[in-house]
């Protein structure tokens, strides 16, 4: 591979050769007449002869305003002769005409090699603690900054992790992610993601913990007695971490203390609500008791009357 410094040297030498041996500034060999007279309605022609190198570009001006090739003005440059034709001359075409010659050579046309300074890797975003449900899938993800390409490795308790039936490692652009397909008690520990490039290295850390296990079992009780599914007046359901107890129709005997108990391998939670039934009860009233096991509502029980 040719070094950028050698390329720079070759370009500079080429520039010097162009300046001293190849470059000839433009000059007029034959200029236009200083004064001329035209008749209205004719096509007038102005010409001058120039030479120079490298490629020459001709510009025509009338009273210091640059003219453009079109229906009124016809411009050409062939064999060193620059020609301007003015179609259908009128009195308003009187004035001062100028022919200007430019070359394409410009120091800005020389492209020098660009240099950049690589940046060591750094962590933009990292989770410090991951709470995983036992038996469920979870993932650790780090957002990386710095100059690519990166070399990335994952470790658990200082032991290297590789992609297999247990783990899946995905590294793409500025993200690196470790997917744990089934999180068990043995997966609790300290995880490290080591990122390196040609100029540096950084280690991101996170701790994996267990917050529970699936599935969660739910039990409803009234005055410390377990409610059964075969009671025709009671319907129980559990969806999206919300347990529901529907009593229909409501009777005086349904008053009492209701409790909802949620249990899994990690522990047990319980919430209570007291239902008081007073006065005459109609068949149009249902009672819905909600128990939030976890979520945005927090944990707790609510009694909601439902009229139908």
Whether residue 238 is found in the same domain as residue 148: no
Q: Is 87 exposed, middle or buried (0-12, 13-18, 19+ CB in 10 A)?
A: middle
Task: Say whether the peptide bond before residue 165 is cis (omega within 30 degrees of 0).
Answer: no
Q: Looking at residue 6, what is its pLDDT?
A: 57
Whether residue 126 is found in the same domain as residue 206: yes
Whether residue 258 is found in the same domain as residue 279: yes
Residue 117 belongs to some domain of the structure: no
Which of 189, 213, 237 finishes a domain?
A: 213
129-143 pLDDT, tens per residue?
788 877 888 888 889
Which of 57, 81, 109 finishes a domain?
A: 109
Residue 116 belongs to some domain of the structure: no
Whether residue 196 is found in the same domain as residue 129: yes
Whether residue 21 is found in the same domain as residue 101: yes
Average pLDDT over residues 60-80: 91
245-280 pLDDT, tens per residue?
888 888 888 888 988 888 776 667 788 888 888 766
C-alpha–C-alpha distance, residues 87 and 94, integer Å: 13
196-229 pLDDT, tens per residue?
998 899 998 888 887 655 667 888 899 988 888 7
Which of 41, 74, 109 finishes a domain?
A: 109
Residue 115 belongs to some domain of the structure: no
Residue 155: pLDDT band (50, 70, 90) is very high
Which stretch of DSSP H or E encloses residue 12?
A: helix 4-17
Report the chain's mean pLDDT, rounded to a whole number. Answer: 79
Whether residue 301 is found in the same domain as residue 281: yes
Residue 257 belongs to some domain of the structure: yes
176-190 pLDDT, tens per residue?
999 999 888 888 889
Whether residue 205 is found in the same domain as residue 239: no
Highest mean pLDDT among 104-113, 171-180, 224-233: 171-180
How many domains, in total, are found in the chain? 3
CATH assignment at residue 233: 2.60.40.10
Residue 263 belongs to some domain of the structure: yes
Q: Whole-prediction pTM value?
A: 0.39
Residue 294 belongs to some domain of the structure: yes
Contact between 290 and 306 (Cβ < 8 Å): no
- 112 vs 7, residue with greater confidence: 7
Whether residue 37 is found in the same domain as residue 102: yes
Whether residue 267 is found in the same domain as residue 209: no
Q: Looking at residue 110, what is its pLDDT?
A: 40
Contact between 195 and 150 (Cβ < 8 Å): yes
Whether residue 207 is found in the same domain as residue 290: no
Whether residue 104 is found in the same domain as residue 137: no
Whether residue 199 is found in the same domain as residue 240: no
What 3-state class would DSSP assign to 89?
coil
Least confident of 21-25, 41-45, 208-212: 21-25
Which stretch of DSSP H or E encloses residue 16?
A: helix 4-17
Domain that holds residue 32: 4-109
């Amino acid at each position: 591979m040719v070094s950028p410094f050698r390329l720079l040297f070759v370009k500079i030498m080429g520039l010097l050769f162009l300046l001293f041996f190849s470059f000839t500034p433009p000059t007029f060999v034959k200029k236009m007449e200083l004064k001329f007279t035209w008749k209205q309605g004719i096509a007038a022609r102005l010409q001058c002869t120039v030479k120079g190198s490298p490629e020459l570009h001709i510009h025509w001006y009338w009273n210091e305003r640059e003219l453009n090739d079109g229906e009124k003005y016809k411009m050409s440059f062939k064999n060193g002769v620059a020609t301007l034709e003015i179609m259908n001359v009128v009195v308003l075409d009187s004035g001062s005409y100028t022919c200007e010659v430019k070359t394409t050579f410009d120091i800005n046309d020389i492209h020098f090699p660009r240099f950049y300074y690589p940046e060591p890797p750094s962590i933009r975003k990292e989770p410090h603690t991951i709470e995983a449900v036992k038996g469920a899938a979870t993932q650790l993800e780090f957002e990386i900054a710095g100059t690519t390409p990166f070399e990335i490795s994952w470790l658990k308790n200082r032991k290297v992790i590789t992609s297999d039936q247990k783990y899946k490692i995905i590294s793409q652009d500025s993200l690196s992610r470790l997917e744990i397909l089934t999180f068990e008690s043995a997966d609790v520990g300290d995880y490290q993601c080591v990122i390196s490039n040609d100029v540096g290295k950084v280690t991101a850390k996170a701790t994996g913990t267990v917050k529970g296990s699936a599935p969660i079992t739910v039990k409803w009780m009234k005055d410390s007695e377990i409610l059964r599914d075969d009671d025709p007046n009671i319907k129980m359901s559990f969806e999206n971490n919300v347990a529901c107890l529907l009593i229909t129709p409501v009777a005086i005997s349904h008053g009492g203390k209701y409790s909802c108990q949620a249990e899994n391998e990690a522990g047990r939670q319980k919430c209570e609500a007291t239902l008081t039934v007073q006065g005459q009860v109609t068949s149009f009233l249902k009672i819905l008791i909600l128990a939030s096991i976890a979520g945005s509502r927090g944990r707790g029980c609510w009694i909601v009357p439902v009229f139908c």
